[in-house]
Amino acid sequence: MSLTNCNVSLLAYTPEPEALICLAARRCRSDKATLDIDTDGAERVIKRVIEAGHLSVLEHVNFTFAVDGISRVCLAQLTRHRIASFSVQSQRTATVNDYVAPRGLVCIGVDRDIRCYKEELDAGFEHEDARYLLPQAVATSLVMTMNARALLHFFELRCCRKAQWEIRELANQMLKLVKPIAPNIFKNAGAFCSQNGYCRETAPCGKMNVPHKDFLFELYQFWEREKNK
Ligand SMILES: Cc1cc2nc3c(=O)[nH]c(=O)nc-3n(C[C@H](O)[C@H](O)[C@H](O)COP(=O)(O)OP(=O)(O)OC[C@H]3O[C@@H](n4cnc5c(N)ncnc54)[C@H](O)[C@@H]3O)c2cc1C
């Protein structure tokens, strides 16, 4: 039994992702045959579609990640994201050895539970039954695919300082991997406030130096009142 760290790698991605998005966006308005559409100036096109919220063109581009060493706590949050594909290590076949826990947490209970689980395996119980003894801290591995639109949304929610630390760490690692591959798509990617320039949280972290949406509405209403005086 051991404490493990989250390890993320990029397994595969759609080739020339930004050119493809540019082509898809231009397809909508061009008279040309699709293969005759040029993809110069992808940076400008991508900026425009993201700013305008015409995000469906981002769905043509996929990224596949290998994720090792996240807890089942993190997995439960991750798989709430429905616009994604997951292949997760099965506890019906694989024997659990590792776990993830916050720094400083006393893990005697986790160690004991995993020991009991292994004793039941040794006693002849099937993995699918012995696993009922396992705590949420146990580590798992998976392969996950998301398209660029779903990823931007995932980053908005999970890179936010209000997100739980483990999934935030995972999201930040994923962002680091995709940014060099598609720098224009992920230029402002990150927490909602970095993508949108304001915060919408009901209890803001107060650390990001951006206005809250309530403040912006108040400011706008104030401006409307002053203008009409
Ligand atoms: C800080 C934080 C705290 C959370 N706390 C809780 C909690 O206490 N309890 C809890 O249950 N969950 C909680 N969640 C999970 C959250 O409610 C979402 O389930 C999760 O973030 C996935 O978001 P999503 O549905 O937008 O993403 P996805 O499932 O990836 O979907 C992406 C987008 O597709 C669209 N979409 C997908 N499916 C449908 C559908 N069936 N109908 C219409 N539109 C759809 C929506 O626009 C959605 O935003 C929390 C999430 C965060 C970030």
Report the separation in Å between the CA atom of 201 and the middle of ligand 1, taken as the mean of its atom positions.
15
Cα–Cα dist 103/96, whole Å: 21
Is the overall model pTM greater than 0.75, yes or no? yes
Single-letter amino acid, residue 18: E
Tens-place pLDDT, residues 58-104: 999 999 999 999 999 999 999 999 999 999 999 999 999 999 998 88
Tens-place pLDDT, residues 143-157: 999 999 999 999 999
Cα–Cα dist 60/107, whole Å: 44
Compute how many other C-beta atoms are within 10 angstroms of the C-beta atom of residue 46. 24
Which whole number is the average pLDDT over 118-136? 97
Whose alpha carbon is nearest atom 24 of ligand 1? 81
Whose alpha carbon is nearest atom 26 of ligand 1? 81
For tokens 């659990």, name the residue: 96
* Phi, psi (degrees; rounded to nearest 5) at 190: 145, -155
Cβ–Cβ under 8 Å, residues 137 and 99: yes
Atom of ligand 1 nearest to the CA of 162: 1
Q: Catalytic site residues? A: 158
Which whole number is the average pLDDT over 2-19? 91
Single-letter amino acid, residue 120: E
Whose alpha carbon is nearest atom 45 of ligand 1? 82
Mean pLDDT, the chain, as a whole number?
95
Report the separation in Å between the CA atom of 57 and the middle of ligand 1, taken as the mean of its atom positions.
21
Fold of domain 2-105+138-194: Gyrase A; domain 2 (3.30.1360)
Both tokens assigned to 62: 């996929």
Atom of ligand 1 nearest to the CA of 167: 53
Report the separation in Å between the CA atom of 172 and the middle of ligand 1, taken as the mean of its atom positions.
18
Q: Is the pLDDT of residue 2 over 70?
A: no
- In the chain, the largest separation of any two C-alpha atoms, in whole Å, equals 82
Q: How many residues does the chain have?
A: 229
Tell which wins on pLDDT, 208 or 24. 24
Instruction: Give residue 1's pLDDT.
Output: 57
Tens-place pLDDT, residues 165-199: 999 999 999 999 999 999 999 999 999 999 999 99
Q: At what angle do helices 17-27 and 42-52 cross, to 10 degrees?
A: 70
- State which of 83, 164, 195 you would mutate to test the pocket of ligand 1, scoring each by most atoms of that ligand within 8 A of its C-beta: 83
Could you tell me what percent of the chain has a pLDDT over 70? 98
Confidence of residue 206 (pLDDT cuts 50, 70, 90): confident
Q: What are the domain boundaries of the chain?
A: 2-105+138-194, 197-229
